[in-house]
């Protein structure tokens, strides 16, 4: 089911539900009876009634209960203190858990039943049953059931292995899906702000919402400012909804587009609007990835070829049988033995189809993706969409944020400009000295611009202070507290009238407050050049306001640039007193401010970033830094981590947007740093990189406004720590630790997925070609197929399920990041792969043909069982050719195929199981598999024939393959021959 279709179903279900609620309301209200348990716990409202008020947006019912305060009393919670930790279990028992009912997970037996529905297997089952029936009638028990029983046991083995594999994948994807739905929210509990999982949320919790958050439950607005809610995920309406005391209801699953607020939770889990909709809808499975679609096309073509070979083989065998019968003048005489022979021919034909249809191709992709996704989870990357994992392997460009991704996001104020001079404040001694030098008036103003203009909070827990908010604000507040100030004391007598929160468009935060003396004062902080332009005065060392001359402005600008050149993030903090005779409207002025301080915030580079950037450059991936910071800060960091090179270009966002399309075509390839960029600039850059230059672009983002760029990119990478829920919703991968080196890991695993599938396809096509051609020509020439139905089913197991398990789950190696990325639209099956497939097929067919047509004479096989021994030898040699060719396929182009093999326990396990089963089939299950035990000389011959495929592979890899582009381990273009992909 597509996302658009799913959203449309949600919207229709929502309208139907609202119509039903209105109908119920018109017919009179339902009488809710409070349970004894709820009454004893001190609650005065039924959970369903509380939930219905929120779902139906019933303002009248809310007022009848006494508004938000009345609801808070009835659910026994203080709007300032929040829920007590001791009450959590009671509230969960009465009001429910914040979890949604999920579709019943498919059991193992369901996967078995699904595997049994394969049409070719059903035909083989019918053949087996008929074979048993005819065999019993002609040859009696037990000899008559061997052939049919062998086919049935092979089918059971194929079905069980397929079902186990699919079941394990489903469990992996279920765990990943659970992780995707987990978000963290800020709540007030026991009077303290804290961070909890959305699954732990209960009715009565006071939730703090800010820009980019997802509303975690149904609730009602307590207090806040400028709260705009995007309800498109529920209603489909693109216009955001303004939420206030007049329109107070918030619904689970919606997103905060602007502003901030506190919300009282009224319903959780299945009682929410979203939960009710989930009862009527089931979310569709994930769409197939591009590689799966491509390989399904390959499988269809190969399947058709296999069907043609199967029909031809059956016709040739049948015609030969009839001709021989006619030559013996037995055409009119038919027996049950003849029927068994024809049935055997039909079973061989059907089995050729089973072998030819490469159902292992989609299985290999799913296995490889599941394995990669599971490993990436342990490496702190959550892949939300399957396709992203394989697409990341083709990424040719990464547009990365600076803060938190390249840097640690643990910010501290390192330098400040105050009272006309820059000062270092990177130690307790320097801060103490600064405090001793400041006059009381300057210190008071400094603490006001720090503590009154913030959306963050400082909470004291067990004698220690914890600050909740953005890393930048935390750094400034910590600096204020190092000066000896108290957060609560600074804000105690202040009445905040209006707040304009920081966002990536305004690049500033403004607050209007009413002071104890009755006057109003506006505070503003933000990007240095923006705030400096808004200032006409500054504060001197005596706390006096001095007119900001052009010369002084240039001096301050030089200080800002000097801070930025040291890779410090700079912010200006300013204030403005509002005259009493000004308008009563609470408008925040845009100019006439007095500059108090310029802060330089240090955000150290992550130690592993330099190596990660070098790895990207070696892999042909261009790294571009796109940041909202000052250009000098951005350039300093970019040089430090190796992104900005001497021939690279650093540009600011507004300049970039003003370029003409021709100028953009010239400049974009050279851009390595874009500073002071808005989300629009980022979106334009990503769009042009994709459409103008055909790049496969990965983009990192954390803010709400990054959503368009994340959505536009081939791979959107959202930050798990600093990222908003809106950014995560629009991303393909969530980087749980916000670390750039994790992004490089995703690229490495993406490449691993792609190359692993190529290895598997090379291996499988070789087996397909040899099995089909050997049986077909043998049938045409000798009138019999050397490989029986049971043997072909076992080969199918080696080729499909076991082959996929061995080759599709190989971990990545360092060589993967020493080649260029796969170009967009490049063919999947490369010339190098065709060379290996055709070369190996010729060798295997030549050896097996010699054995088939001259084996008896060459090996001196005589006696009644000579043919059976020869056919067993052919089967054994064929299987060992595949065992050794599986090792050959571990590397498409490199001669050293053993690198990393002994560290891959899955590969070694598959090899061991294959050889062990082969010994059991030949030595112990001969009656079922139509084989006879072999002496040690013939076992050795089989192994040698298989082993020789390895030097053959080395010789093949020495044959140069012409490519239009530089060849790297199979990453080249398809030849002009058969285009399967």
List active site positions.
401
The residue whose two tokens read 């104890």 is 516
The residue whose two tokens read 């200032």 is 535
d(CA 869, CA 373) in angstroms, rounded, equals: 47
- Residues in Cβ contact with 397 at an 8 Å cutoff, skipping those fewer than 6 apart: 621, 622, 623, 624, 689, 695, 696, 697, 698
φ, ψ for residue 335, nearest 5 deg: -130, 170
Please give the C-alpha separations between residue 165 and each of 67, 160, 172, 387, in angstroms, as whole numbers.
55, 8, 11, 20
- Alpha carbons within 13 A on the beta-carbon side of 170: 14
Cβ(269)–Cβ(98) under 8 Å? yes
Cβ(630)–Cβ(560) under 8 Å? yes
CB atoms within 10 A of CB 30: 11
Cβ(608)–Cβ(408) under 8 Å? no
Among candidates 911, 908, 759, 917, which has minimal Cα distance to 364? 759
d(CA 201, CA 203) in angstroms, rounded, equals: 7
| H-only helix segments in 497-583 | 528-534, 550-565
**Please, what is the angle between helix 273-280 and helix 3-26, to 10°?**
110
Alpha-carbon dihedral sign for residues 749, 750, 756, 760: positive
**Residue 773 in tokens:** 């051609």
Among candidates 419, 426, 446, which has minimal Cα distance to 568? 426
Cβ(928)–Cβ(150) under 8 Å? yes
d(CA 745, CA 764) in angstroms, rounded, equals: 28
d(CA 229, CA 214) in angstroms, rounded, equals: 9
Residues 418-428: b if buried by 16+ CB within 10 A, e if exposed: bbeeeeebeee
**Please, what is the angle between helix 789-797 and helix 146-180, to 10°?**
20
Cβ(211)–Cβ(259) under 8 Å? yes
Cβ(91)–Cβ(204) under 8 Å? yes
Cβ(206)–Cβ(82) under 8 Å? yes
**Residue 438 in tokens:** 């400041």
What own/partner pairs with CB < 8 Å and gap ≥ 24 does 88-94 have? 88/200, 88/202, 90/41, 91/202, 91/203, 91/204, 92/202, 93/37, 94/35, 94/37, 94/38, 94/41, 94/43, 94/47
How far is it between the farthest Cα atoms of the chain?
Answer: 125
Q: Facing residues of 4 across strands?
A: none
d(CA 861, CA 866) in angstroms, rounded, equals: 5
Q: Beta strand 545-547 with 535-539: parallel, antiparallel or unpaired?
A: antiparallel
Please give the C-alpha separations between residue 653 and each of 180, 629, 667, 675, in angstroms, as whole numbers.
33, 10, 13, 6
The residue whose two tokens read 């915030």 is 601
Prior bond of 444 cis (ω within 30°): no
């Amino acid at each position: 089911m597509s996302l658009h279709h799913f959203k449309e179903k949600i919207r229709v279900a929502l309208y139907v539900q609202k119509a039903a609620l209105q109908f119920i309301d018109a017919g009179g209200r339902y009488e809710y009876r409070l349970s004894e348990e709820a009454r004893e716990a001190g609650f005065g409202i039924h959970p369903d009634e509380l939930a219905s008020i929120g779902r139906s947006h019933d303002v009248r019912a809310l007022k009848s209960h006494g508004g938000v305060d009345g609801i808070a009393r009835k659910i026994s919670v203080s709007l300032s203190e929040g829920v007590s930790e001791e009450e959590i279990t009671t509230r969960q028992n009465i009001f429910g858990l914040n979890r949604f009912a999920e579709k019943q997970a498919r059991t193992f037996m369901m996967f078995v039943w699904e595997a049994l529905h394969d049409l070719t297997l059903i035909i083989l089952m019918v053949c087996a049953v008929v074979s048993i029936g005819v065999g019993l009638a002609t040859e009696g028990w037990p000899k008559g059931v061997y052939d049919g029983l062998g086919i049935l046991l092979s089918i059971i083995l194929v079905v069980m292995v397929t079902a186990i594999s699919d079941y394990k994948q489903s469990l992996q994807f279920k765990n990943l899906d659970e992780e995707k739905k987990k978000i963290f929210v800020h709540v007030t509990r026991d009077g303290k702000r804290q961070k909890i999982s959305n699954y732990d949320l209960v009715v009565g919790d006071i939730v703090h919402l800010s820009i980019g958050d997802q509303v975690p439950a149904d609730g009602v607005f307590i207090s806040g400012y400028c709260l705009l809610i995007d309800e498109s995920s529920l209603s489909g309406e693109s216009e955001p909804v303004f939420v206030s005391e007049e329109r107070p209801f918030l619904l689970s699953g919606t997103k905060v587009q602007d502003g901030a607020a506190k919300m009282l939770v009224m319903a959780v889990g299945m009682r929410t609007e979203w939960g009710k909709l989930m009862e009527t809808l089931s979310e569709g499975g994930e769409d197939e990835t591009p590689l799966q679609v491509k390989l399904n096309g390959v499988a269809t073509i190969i399947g058709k070829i296999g069907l043609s070979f199967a029909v031809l083989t059956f016709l040739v065998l049948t015609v030969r049988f009839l001709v021989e019968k006619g030559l013996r003048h037995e055409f009119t005489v038919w027996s049950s033995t003849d029927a068994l022979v024809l049935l055997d021919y039909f079973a061989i034909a059907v089995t050729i189809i089973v072998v030819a249809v490469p159902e292992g191709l989609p299985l290999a992709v799913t296995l490889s993706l599941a394995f990669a996704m599971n490993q990436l989870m342990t490496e702190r990357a959550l892949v939300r969409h399957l396709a992203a994992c394989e697409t990341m392997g083709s990424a040719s460009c990464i547009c990365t944020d600076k803060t938190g991704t390249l840097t640690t996001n643990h910010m501290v104020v390192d330098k400040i400009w105050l009272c006309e001079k820059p000062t270092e404040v990177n130690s307790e001694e320097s801060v103490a000295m600064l405090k001793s030098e400041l006059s009381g008036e300057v210190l008071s103003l400094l603490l006001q611009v720090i503590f009154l203009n913030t959306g963050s909070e400082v909470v004291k827990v067990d004698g220690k202070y914890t600050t909740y908010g953005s890393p930048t604000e935390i750094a400034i507040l910590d600096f204020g507290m190092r000066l000896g100030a108290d957060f609560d004391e600074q804000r105690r007598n202040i009445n905040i009238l209006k707040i304009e929160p920081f966002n990536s468009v305004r690049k500033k935060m403004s607050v209007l407050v009413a002071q104890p003396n009755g006057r109003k004062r506006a505070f503003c902080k933000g990007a240095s050049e923006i705030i400096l332009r808004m200032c006409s005065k500054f504060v001197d060392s005596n706390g006096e306001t001095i007119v900001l001359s052009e010369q002084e402005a240039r001096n301050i600008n030089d200080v800002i640039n000097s801070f930025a050149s040291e890779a410090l993030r700079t912010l200006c903090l300013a204030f403005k007193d509002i005259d009493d005779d000004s308008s009563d409207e609470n408008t925040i002025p845009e100019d006439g401010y007095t500059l108090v301080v310029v802060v330089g915030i240090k955000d150290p580079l992550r130690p592993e970033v330099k190596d990660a950037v070098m790895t990207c450059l070696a892999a042909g991936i261009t790294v571009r830094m796109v940041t909202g910071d000052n250009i000098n800060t951005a350039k300093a960091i970019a040089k430090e981590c190796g992104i900005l090179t001497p021939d690279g270009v650093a540009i600011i966002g507004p300049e970039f947007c003003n370029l003409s399309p021709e100028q953009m075509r010239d400049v974009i390839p050279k851009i390595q740093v874009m500073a002071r960029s808005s989300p629009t600039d980022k979106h334009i850059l990503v769009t042009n990189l994709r459409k103008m230059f055909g790049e496969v672009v990965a983009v990192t983002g954390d803010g709400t406004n990054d959503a368009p760029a994340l959505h536009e990119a081939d791979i959107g990478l959202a930050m798990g720590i600093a990222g908003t829920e809106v950014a995560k919703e629009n991303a393909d991968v969530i980087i749980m630790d916000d670390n750039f080196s994790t992004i490089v890991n995703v690229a490495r695993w993406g490449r691993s997925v792609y190359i692993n599938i190529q290895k598997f396809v090379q291996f499988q096509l070789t087996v397909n070609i040899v099995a089909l051609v050997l049986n077909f020509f043998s049938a045409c020439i000798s009138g019999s197929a050397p490989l029986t139905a049971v043997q072909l089913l076992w080969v199918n197991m080696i080729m499909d399920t076991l082959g996929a398990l061995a080759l599709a789950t190989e971990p990545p190696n360092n060589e993967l990041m020493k080649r260029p990325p796969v170009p967009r639209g490049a063919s999947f099956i490369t010339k190098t792969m065709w060379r290996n497939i055709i070369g190996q097929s010729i060798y295997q067919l030549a050896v097996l043909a010699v054995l088939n047509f001259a084996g008896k004479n060459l090996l001196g096989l005589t006696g009644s069982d000579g043919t059976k021994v020869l056919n067993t030898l052919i089967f054994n040699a064929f299987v060992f050719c595949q065992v050794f060719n599986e090792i050959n396929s571990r590397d498409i182009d490199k001669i050293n195929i053993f690198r990393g093999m002994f560290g891959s326990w899955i590969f070694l396990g598959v090899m061991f199981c294959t050889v062990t089963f082969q010994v059991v089939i030949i030595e112990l299950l001969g009656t079922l598999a139509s084989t006879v035990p072999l002496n040690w000389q013939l076992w050795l011959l089989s192994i040698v024939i298989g082993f020789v495929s390895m030097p053959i592979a080395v010789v093949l890899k020495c044959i140069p393959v012409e490519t239009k582009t530089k060849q790297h381990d199979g990453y080249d273009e398809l030849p002009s021959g058969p285009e399967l992909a």
